[in-house]
């Protein structure tokens, strides 16, 4: 029998240190590293200077000894007549291969000495702890003095006492530089990281929505640019959400007409069950409404992805399409029926998807019918490429004549949802939507098509009606 396997708990992720702490730790580490580096370099310089002084003293003493015919002027230089005598007296393990100055080491209590001229001999010096340092000089070819010099460098360690205060001074300077670096780092940290911390404080705790004043008080630098970018992103996100909300409202607005057609057809269908012709008209209306709903759904999917136009485009004849739209709205209009005026020439055509043009005309006529029930509605075409729909309703409130003390302007209803869809539709296809006042004082909505989408009347080509 299989035993249930207990879930393996995921390791708890350690919360990272705050940015201020991480930068402070990094700056302290850099200051300490700088202190160590400065102290090491300073100590190395002091040692090199000490060695240079010792070498200069030895060179001067050796020069005076050689100039005096091999008589040493100081007690820390011994003179030997030849290399073998030097080796016998000092216990040197071997003689150098050439003349000049060489380095050797020996134990403090005497004994044998080691010539330090390669890494093996230096390893032996370190291993046997040979601390006494010597310099030996063999005569080179051409030298007048052919003897050998043996210099006890340990007798010159008086420079160590003078070098110690210098080392302490170098350490003090390195410590002072490290402290100054820490102070300067604190100022730089406060100056440079403060905008980042301010931005993080404004963003923290606002997962639902970024504040509108995100870039307020920030300089025009990288952090300010980041804050403005976040603020712009917030604005774009808000615009997208608002557009999607409008899109949902537009969907319901556009689907209302075919749904109303279906509802009225379903009501009429039992009444015309025995009338074949009437039943055919009702079922045809149902079929057209269902087809239009299908077209609308597909069109809305295209419209939701702004920037992508429907693929199926061609020349659409406006006259039969407008008559179809008027007939559908006339069948749905409540009494009293509106008075229609359709002035569309037969040659009026638009290059676009028929579903797009059908939705456009449906919106224009539907809005006019909604705000002018039982009134006058005119659909006209103006050359070279402008479609207008007029009504005698209350019109647009912002375009109404100025109010007088005795006759204030009527309150016009909102055309928002339908016109918003028209505006997006026109923007998508490069057309322009215009509003105005009709000859009857009502609303006028016109669509100016692009020149390339409205051919001259003599142009030929397949036409979709």
Is the separation of the CB atoms in 164 and 188 below 8 Å?
Answer: no
Write down the pLDDT at residue 313.
Answer: 77
How far from the centroid of its chain's Cα atoms is residue 5's Cα? 43
Write down the pLDDT at residue 355.
Answer: 79
Is the separation of the CB atoms in 106 and 135 below 8 Å?
Answer: no
User: To 5 degrees, how large is the angle CA 331–CA 395–CA 408?
Assistant: 135
Is the separation of the CB atoms in 459 and 360 below 8 Å?
Answer: no
In angstroms, the CA 453 to CA 458 distance is: 14
Segment-wise mean pLDDT, segments of 10 residues, the chain, 465 residues:
53 62 78 82 79 82 79 84 88 88 85 88 89 87 82 74 74 84 78 72 63 65 72 77 75 78 85 83 79 69 56 83 88 77 92 84 84 88 91 82 46 53 81 90 90 61 51
Is the separation of the CB atoms in 130 and 114 below 8 Å?
Answer: yes
Write down the pLDDT at residue 456.
Answer: 63
In angstroms, the CA 173 to CA 181 distance is: 12
Spatial CA neighbour of 343 closest among 395, 389, 393, 392? 389
Report residue 389 as tokens: 């729909």
Classify domain 314-401+411-465 by CATH architecture. Answer: 2-Layer Sandwich (3.30)
Spatial CA neighbour of 137 closest among 127, 147, 128? 147
């Amino acid at each position: 029998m299989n035993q249930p396997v207990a879930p393996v708990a995921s390791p708890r992720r350690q919360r990272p240190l705050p940015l201020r702490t991480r930068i402070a730790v990094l700056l302290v580490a850099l200051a300490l590293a700088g202190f160590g580096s400065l102290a090491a370099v300073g100590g190395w310089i002091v040692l090199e200077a000490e060695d240079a002084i010792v070498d200069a003293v030895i060179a001067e003493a050796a020069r005076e000894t050689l100039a005096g015919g091999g008589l040493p002027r100081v007690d820390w230089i011994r003179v030997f007549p030849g290399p073998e005598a030097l080796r016998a007296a000092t216990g040197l393990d071997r003689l150098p291969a050439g003349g000049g100055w060489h380095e050797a080491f020996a134990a403090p209590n005497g004994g044998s000495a080691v010539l330090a001229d390669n890494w093996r001999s230096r390893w032996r010096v370190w291993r046997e702890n040979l601390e006494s340092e010597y310099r030996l000089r063999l005569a080179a070819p051409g030298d007048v003095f052919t003897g050998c010099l043996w210099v006890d460098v340990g007798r010159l360690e008086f420079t160590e006492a003078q070098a110690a205060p210098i080392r302490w001074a170098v350490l003090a300077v390195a410590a002072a530089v490290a402290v100054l670096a820490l102070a300067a780092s604190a100022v730089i940290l406060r100056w440079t990281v403060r905008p980042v911390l301010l931005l993080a404080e404004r963003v923290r705790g606002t997962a639902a929505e970024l504040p509108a004043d995100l870039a307020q008080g920030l300089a025009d630098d990288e952090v300010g640019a980041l804050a403005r970018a976040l603020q712009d992103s917030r604005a774009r996100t808000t615009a997208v959400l608002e557009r999607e909300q409008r899109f949902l409202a537009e969907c319901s607005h556009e689907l209302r007409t075919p749904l109303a057609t279906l509802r009225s057809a379903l009501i009429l269908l039992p009444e015309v069950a025995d009338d074949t012709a009437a039943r055919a008209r009702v079922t045809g209306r149902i079929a057209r409404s269902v087809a239009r709903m299908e077209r609308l759904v597909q069109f809305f999917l295209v419209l939701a992805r702004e920037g992508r136009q429907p693929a199926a485009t061609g020349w659409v004849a406006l006259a039969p399409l407008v008559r179809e739209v008027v007939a559908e709205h006339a069948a749905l209009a409540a009494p009293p029926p509106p008075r229609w005026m359709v002035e569309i020439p037969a040659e009026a055509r638009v290059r676009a998807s028929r579903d797009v043009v059908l939705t456009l005309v449906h919106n224009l006529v539907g809005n006019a019918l909604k705000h002018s029930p039982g009134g006058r509605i005119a659909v006209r075409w103006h050359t070279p490429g402008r479609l207008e729909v007029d009504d005698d309703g209350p019109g647009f409130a912002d375009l109404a004549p100025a109010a007088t003390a005795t006759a204030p302007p009527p309150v016009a209803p909102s055309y928002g949802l339908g016109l918003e869809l028209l505006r997006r539709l026109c923007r998508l296809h490069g057309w322009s939507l215009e509003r105005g006042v009709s000859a009857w004082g009502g609303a006028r909505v016109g669509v100016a098509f692009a020149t390339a989408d409205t051919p001259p009347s003599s142009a030929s080509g397949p036409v979709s009606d």
